[in-house]
Amino acid sequence: MTRDLDVVVLGEALIDIVTTSAGAAERPGGSPANVAVALGRLGRRAALVARVADDERGHVLTRWLSASGVALHPAGSPDRTATAHAVIDERGNATYDFDIDWALPARVEVPAARIFHTGSVAATLAPGADEVRIAADRVRGAALVSYDPNIRPALTGGVDDARSRVEALVALSDVVKASAEDAEWLYPGVAPIDVARGWVARGAGLAVITDGDAGSLGVTAHAEVRIPAVATVVVDTVGAGDTFMGTLLDGILDLPAAGVDDLRAAVRALDATTLPPLLHRAAAAAAITVGREGMDPPTREDLQQSAAPKESA
């Protein structure tokens, strides 16, 4: 078992087959894997528990994770590595069509870490989604639990089933981050701030809703905070939300806390003074990612440079 991990992520790693007006290309990805890579780029000790086949695409994923310092813990070996066909429109937004086998072993082994993160396909696609929820429940006494629904409607059993799975994980989670698009799909006509308030009422310590260039909002029991997006030139939006998620967790790990109980209490105590810096930093990291092609999140040095005052000409 890997020791002294900052974050362990349970979820899918896959190959994005990306089609744009310029043609098609294959890139490693998957929302949970992206979060692990974002954390690794920031220097965190991260591990990913995922199903990756022993094929060429699986080898690409393994090398990609390793290059960012992410340890891969196999959760069984499927016949082929999962793929997502992503079509990028003229605004840089992606739509997906998946080919994935998500059948986890019973009581999937999850290495010990300060934070356990999951979400996306892994948390909604049967049969593995049930094991993900069981794993989150099993580890929550020893780790902070983080969750990003990152809904893929084509892979859910419909909105009612997806909402049920989401709310079960929200109730187990300390940190929940979702896009405004996900919030609208799950709760049509409900304002994002009310979705976040509802998730805090269900048990989340911090609920965050991101909305692209409209910025983001965060809700705890002590504060409701809105922050603007960081201005940038968008190349594509692949990995933006996952970079935000990973950077948010990186910031949470820096909160003063001696153990998991203290860390959980620190998250739940975030207020109008302590929450905005976490959200601003996560937004800055996401802005760097959308300014690059593909899932290419910043290092800690990149973030520091982006925050440094610019010399006047």
Cβ neighbours for 274, distance < 8 A, ≥ 6 positions apart = none
Q: What is the mean pLDDT of residues 43-72?
A: 97
What is the maximum alpha-carbon separation in the chain?
61
Higher local confidence (pLDDT), 37 or 1? 37
Among 41-45, 56-60, 222-226, 231-235, the least confident range:
231-235
More confident residue, 47 or 89: 47
The answer, yes or no, to whether residue 81 has pLDDT greater than 70, is yes
Q: Which two tokens stand for residue 245?
A: 């998620």
294 vs 158, residue with greater confidence: 158
Of 21-25, 82-86, 201-205, which gets the smallest average pLDDT?
21-25
Please calculate the CA angle 105-164-246 and round it to the nearest 5 degrees. Answer: 65
Reply yes or no on whether the pLDDT at 47 is more than 50.
yes
- Condensed to tens digits (0 to 9), the pLDDT of residues 90-147 reads 766 667 788 999 999 999 999 999 999 999 999 999 999 999 999 999 999 999 999 9
Walk me through the domains of the chain, giving residue ranges and CATH numbers. Answer: 5-303 (3.40.1190.20)
Helix (H) or strand (E) holding 131: helix 128-139
Q: Which residues contact 172 (CB under 8 A, 6 or more apart)?
A: 133, 136, 137, 140, 145, 147, 203
Residue 311 pLDDT > 50, yes or no?
A: no
Q: In this predicted structure, what is the pLDDT of residue 309?
A: 60
pLDDT one-digit tens code per residue, 156-167:
878 999 999 999
Is the per-residue pLDDT at 2 higher than 60?
Answer: no
- Is the pLDDT confidence value at 86 over 90? no
5-10 vs 46-50, strand pairing mode:
parallel
User: Strand 216-219 to strand 206-210: parallel, antiparallel, or no bridges (unpaired)?
Assistant: antiparallel
Buried b (16+ CB within 10 A) or exposed e, 117-153: bbbbbbbbbeebbebbbebbebbbeebbbbbbbbbbe
Q: Is the pLDDT of residue 273 over 80?
A: yes
pLDDT at residue 92, as a whole number? 63
Nearest-CA neighbor of 299 among 311, 289, 312?
A: 289
Comparing CA positions, the residue from 232, 244, 233 lying closest to residue 295 is: 244
**pLDDT for residue 64 is more than 50:** yes
175-194: average pLDDT: 97
- Residue entry with tokens 């409701």: 224
Q: Name the residue type at position 192.
A: P
Calculate mean pLDDT across residues 170-184.
97
Those residues with Cβ within 8 angstroms of residue 156's Cβ, 6 or more apart along the chain or in another chain:
124, 125, 162
Give the DSSP letter string of 196-219: HHHHHHHT-SEEEEE-GGG-EEEE
* Strand-strand pairing, 5-10 and 113-119: parallel
Residues 29/10, Cβ–Cβ less than 8 Å? no
Q: What is the pLDDT of residues 192-208, one digit of tens each?
A: 999 999 999 999 999 99
- With beta carbons less than 8 A apart as the criterion, state whether 103 and 75 touch: no
Entry field: residues in the chain: 313
The answer to whether the pTM exceeds 0.75 is yes
